[in-house]
C-alpha cells in the first residue's frame, strides 16, 4: 500500500503500476522472501498526507482475487 507521497515519487520517476509491482517482486525474490507467490504483489495507492509511510498487507491465500475501488471525497 503506497502512501500518496510515495506514489508521487514513483509517478515523478515515470514508473507505472506494473513496474512498481515488478521491481517489488524482484526485490522480494532477491532477498529470499518466500511468503509472496509470483505475480502476487499488487501496488495500491491509499491513505492521506501522513508522510512517507507505506505498508505491506498480506493476503489470505487461496484462489481469491483482490478488489479495489476508488474512494472520492
Rounded to whole angstroms, the Cα distance separating 29 from 58 reads 16
The 10s digit of each residue's pLDDT in 57-70 is 776 666 777 788 88
| Cβ atoms within 10 Å, residue 20 | 20
pTM above 0.95, yes or no: no
Give the rounded percent of residues in the chain with a pLDDT score beyond 70: 92
Q: Is the pLDDT of residue 19 over 70?
A: yes
**pLDDT (0 to 100) of residue 15:** 96
Residue closest to 4 by CA, chosen among 59, 42, 37, 50: 50
**pLDDT (0 to 100) of residue 23:** 92
Please state the rounded mean pLDDT for residues 14-31. Answer: 90
The 10s digit of each residue's pLDDT in 40-54 is 788 888 888 777 888
Rounded to whole angstroms, the Cα distance separating 67 from 14 reads 25
Q: What are phi and psi of 69, to 5 degrees?
A: -140, 145
| Cβ atoms within 10 Å, residue 21 | 15
Amino acid at each position: 500500500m503506497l502512501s500518496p507521497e510515495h506514489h508521487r515519487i514513483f509517478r515523478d520517476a515515470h514508473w507505472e503500476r506494473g513496474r512498481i509491482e515488478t521491481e517489488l517482486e524482484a526485490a522480494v525474490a532477491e532477498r529470499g522472501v518466500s511468503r509472496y507467490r509470483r505475480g502476487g504483489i499488487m501496488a495500491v495507492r491509499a491513505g492521506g498526507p501522513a508522510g512517507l509511510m507505506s505498508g505491506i498487507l498480506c493476503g489470505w491465500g487461496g484462489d481469491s482475487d483482490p478488489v479495489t475501488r476508488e474512494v472520492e471525497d
